[in-house]
Amino acid sequence: MYSRRFPRLAAALTLCGLSSAAYAQESLPLCETTIKEGAFISEATLYEDEYDYVYVSIWISRQLKDGTTIVTDDPEADFISQVVNASTLKFKFNYDSNADGEWGYSPQMGQLWLPGFYTTNDQGERLEHQVQVQSFRVKNTDYNVTTDAEHNGNFMYDYELPRDAITAMNNFWVMNEPVQVIMSLSPNSPSAYVTVDDAGWLKFSERINSSTKGLMDDYLAEKCDPEYACFFTTAAVHNIGLNDDCWELSYLRRFRDTVLQRTDAGRRAIEIYYQQAPKIVRQIERRTDAKLIWLKTYWLGVLPTAALAQLGLNGLAVKYYERLFNTLQKLAHS
């Protein structure tokens, strides 16, 4: 859906009444935890949606630079090794309940992140190429991989894997069985067989399970404090589907640290913000028009303030911020 690929465009069209697209952020993140061990990184976030449905979203990354072997007749074997070492296998599970109220893990999606590479043609033009991923093999079964990988903005290409491939991979890694990625540098190049071992997946999956249960226990004990989602700037960008590392929040943080922190008035404004913002968010989240409020907050407050901060127009940035803060305070108490 275009709302996921172009969140700012979708939000603008919705605000102008030109689109009825759903907002990209439909649930509020509450708790999160990160686990790192060996080749694996797990990032789990507990969500509660507008219908009080609770689930844990778990993204797992497996770096291919560790625990892989490559077999190929391609004379560019060393270069293929560099590509593989810079690649990552990513997959997502949800821990949620089914229609019978039974809790368990369900595969959502899988991705293979591979870097592009460059060649220079006879005219001296630099051309970017995608690695040709032919299949994802688990035991004796080949799973199709999307050939029209999308550039994800991190100098990497995303190749999507089917959910049944993720299930099979999990089952065989638990038994210490490897999986295999078959790729080539071009349609006419020899295939490279990249074998990816389990890298201690069984032990790591046990840690994920323990961590996930811990998030659920914290939620049931009302210990989940949405620290990173409690401020209205973050709530606004999350509402349209942007991440914490978006440029808007990056410039607002820089503005806070390099401008506001240097004056008594600025430090006082930061102190008030940290005291009041979580309360404002909680009050607004209870409103039926919360999503529309966050949409307007982004376009009429967060975006222009960040743009002014980026341009160094600090006085105007402060005025926009103060106006936004006062508006949200009134809405929270209305």
pLDDT tens, position by position, 129-149: 788 888 899 988 999 887 666
Residues of the chain predicted below pLDDT 70 = 1-30, 49-52, 147-155, 225-230
pTM over 0.75: no
Same domain, 60 and 163: yes
Establish if 79 belongs to a structural domain.
yes
Same domain, 282 and 166: no
What is the pLDDT, as a whole number, of residue 26? 44
Question: Which of 173, 195, 220 is the last residue before a domain boundary?
Answer: 220
What is the pLDDT, as a whole number, of residue 138? 93
What is the pLDDT, as a whole number, of residue 141? 93
What is the pLDDT, as a whole number, of residue 1? 41
Same domain, 181 and 131: yes
Same domain, 142 and 272: no
CA atoms of 238 and 27, how far apart (whole Å): 9
Question: Which of 204, 220, 236 is the last residue before a domain boundary?
Answer: 220
What is the pLDDT, as a whole number, of residue 149? 64
Same domain, 323 and 255: yes
Same domain, 205 and 73: yes
Number of domains in the chain: 2
Domain that holds residue 70: 38-220
Establish if 7 belongs to a structural domain.
no
Same domain, 263 and 291: yes
Q: What is the 3-state secondary structure (H, E, C) of the chain?
A: CHHHHCHHHHHHHHHCCCCCCCCCCCEEEEEEEEEEECCEEEEEEEEEECCCCEEEEEEEEEECCCCEEEEECCCCHHHHHHHHHCCEEEEEEEEEECCCCCEEEEEEEEEEEEECEEEECCCCCEEEECCEEEEEEECCEEECCCCCCEECCCCEEEEEECHHHHHHHHHHHHCCCCEEEEEECCCCCCCEEEEECCCCHHHHHHHHHHHHHHHHHHHHCCCCCCHHHCCHHHHHHHHCCCCCCCHHHHHHHHHHHHCHHHCHHHHHHHHHHHHHHHHHHHHHHCCCCHHHHHHHHHHHHHHHHHHHHHCCCHHHHHHHHHHHHHHHHHHHCC
